[in-house]
Structure 1
Amino acid sequence: MHPENITGVDIITISPDGYIRLTFEEFQQVSLVHLMSGLDEGDNLPLVQEGATFAEFTGYTDWVSATSPAISIGWDWMNQFSQVGGVYYKRVSKSRSNLMLVDAKQRDLGPDKTAALIETVVDGIVWQIVVQNYISTRYAS
């Protein structure tokens, strides 16, 4: 196995337009790792105090592949409160990526279809706890 083939995907290259092109099946073999997350500017988080109340806030997260070149995927999220499960994080935007998914004949699926398919993968990973832990550490007082 070549170092470029660490995911079981053939050698990954960047197209002249900046996209990395893979089929959906190839993309599903790529592991994504958390790069960074942050809070949107303007979100004023209340100070934790006695009798504190829940405040919604929004942010962003970026994930990358371990491949070279790296696939980059990012999306926006917000935290919400559930009476049943407490606080949870929810994806609230289309994904942003340098990935263009292609069909078996190497034809682009287009940005909307690519984003929708990326979102099915993103929604299948447990990103929320990773982002929550990162945000808690990054913004600790």
Structure 2
Amino acid sequence: MYDAECRMSCHDTQRHSSSMHVSRDGLIRASIAELLSMRIVHLMSGIDVEHNLSASACGRPTTISGYTEWVTQTEPPITIGWDWCLVTSADDPSFQRASQPRANVMLVDDSGNDKSWSQNLERLATVVDVLPWVEFVPRTVFR
């Protein structure tokens, strides 16, 4: 479904809307349709550093977690980042999103009005959840 560049769609357009710009509040306004038409690519990922590494901590359960950041190839770029964790309680370890996304985009409705911040994060979470990050991030952070 996704090619090696992690496209959300087949559109290669760099500019999607003449109205897309950074607002005074630092956010870029876009509709969900505009966002879904953009190419979103991996920028960076990393593993959180565990600070309690004393000998007394040896043998205790630990959590492997990290972060990932993805960007559109538009001008201005939209960035979406979130935290993830490796869940090992099941037979097969799996990666799960551990937080709501952080982003510089405010989704707008058909009239151009801002969604509420909670609606914005819920919609962005659905976008994040269809990105191929679960397959991509482990190959990046565990090389």
Q: Following superposition of structure 1 onto structure 2, how do residues 15-34 of structure 1 map, counting pairs within 5 Å?
A: 15-34=23-42
Give 3-state SS (helix, strand or coil) of 1:70's partner.
coil
Structure 2 unaligned residues grouped into runs of 5+: 1-11, 54-60
Structure 1 residue 41, shift from structure 2 partner: 2.1
Aligned-CA RMSD value? 2.1
Q: How much has 1:109 moved relative to structure 2?
A: 0.2
Q: Which runs of 5+ in 1 are unaligned?
A: 46-53
2:76 matches 1:97? no
1:17 Cα offset (Å): 1.1
Count of residues in correspondence between the two structures: 123
For 2:13 and 2:51, the matched residues in 1 are separated by 39
For the residue of structure 2 that corresponds to 1:36, the secondary structure is strand
The residue number in structure 1 matching 2:126 is 120
Question: Which secondary structure state, in structure 2, belongs to the residue aligned with residue 68 of structure 1?
Answer: coil
**Residues 43, 58 of structure 1: 8 Å contact kept:** no
Asked if residue 111 in structure 1 is aligned to residue 111 in structure 2, the reply is: no
- Displacement of 1:9 in angstroms is 2.6
1:6-37 C-alpha deviation (Å, 9 max, x unpaired): 16731321111111001111111112111111
TM-score, L = length of structure 2: 0.78
Q: 1:112 offset after TM fit, Å?
A: 1.1
Q: Does 1:77 align with 2:78?
A: no
Q: Distance in 2 between matches of 1:110 and 1:31?
A: 24
